[in-house]
Structure 1
């Protein structure tokens, strides 16, 4: 890969671009975050030449963004995995995706939802049949992703929260899932809520609301980046647009709900779906 001599040694942006180098590199990191970790699979996914992909993978390993984990000795074959340094690029990927969804594919408005015909909706519905990376499940699982929920005695929603289309309704959604948790359990399905909030915020809300299931923090945006889930930014934090996934015990996605305009009704719809599949 051709190296460019960088002028400003003190500029973090310039030095970072010296590692990333071009848009192909971001796409390589994107696909590896999504669980595409082997050379042949990456080449099929990206449509790159073998030479170009070999050069980029070697450069990312050299820079400590990726490391190679052998899965075959004869012939020698490796998985390419993100290092902690590489995982540090995931928020950058989310920021790029969010900017593209809002300003390139969208009309520039700040929203916590999307049109049914949007590129975001098409991307989410395209997840059916894909495995959720780095997530182990023992049974059928509903994963409902929500923008943010807060305990009454904790710092509240960001300023202007109620003015963001689709942002309100997180408490209602969680309480509706809680009220019907026994019905999901009877169908052999467990429930997990997911947000980019801090673990302590989620624990406080779950305790106050008496939720009979855990809330998971994706504060490091590994799930968001791995699945390319739609997000929006409010009060300096990337937050999920409301959506729900139904995954089987192999963590393969079998049903999606997005966009969700009626949080309570979406719970009933997902329960009916769970009863037919689990």
Structure 2
């Protein structure tokens, strides 16, 4: 299944994509693509529905983030060895964990705002993993049973804030609009091997990133198991698993985003995103 949320900001409704690519309204079945709806039982209930029996959504509404009421937005850094090299950092011996604040979450085609004073705004296409079955101390062999599905994430980053201002990376990762998620949550049964997905990103038509999840240092199962040692994972938590090489920081010379630039990115089978960079609204 391809699950989604559509409609105006802060008023999104749950939906499902049918076989023809049309949106079907799920609001008569679930309140949101969130929480209990993402557990194995919730996913099974949705999978049993014939999309043709659901109301057809007219027009081309805005896509919201494909998961609602996200409790944790957890990110893994330097998870592709060639990206670590272009960043001038060592390949980590254990997963590098940082966070995006949930206020960073936005729709896949919403504008990305350049924060006041920003000089080094950057892009990162990433595979998103959405937790379905909650758990703690999850064995790696059981980890995939805790995954509800997968999505596209742009880990938008401000490199000066992240790397030059002291403290943790989080301040350069969690600004408003720095977390486009979607367009769809593709359930795990439709992604037989999350370590065999092509992911790519272009800016103004020039392709900068073109990689595969096969080259991740730590795979999805290992990441889920590892994180569960340090926190409980709950239904609807989102994990962004790292980016392949080709970010602006790694260009020679480095290249950063400017107002008016358009990012387009995607992952095979999981959909595409498009964001224009705009001035901060406030």
Both proteins in one fold, TM over 0.5: no
User: Who wins on radius of gyration, i.e. which is larger?
Assistant: 1
TM-score, normalised to structure 1's length?
Answer: 0.27
Indicate the structure with greater strand content.
2
TM-score, normalised to structure 2's length?
Answer: 0.27
Indicate the structure with greater helix content.
1
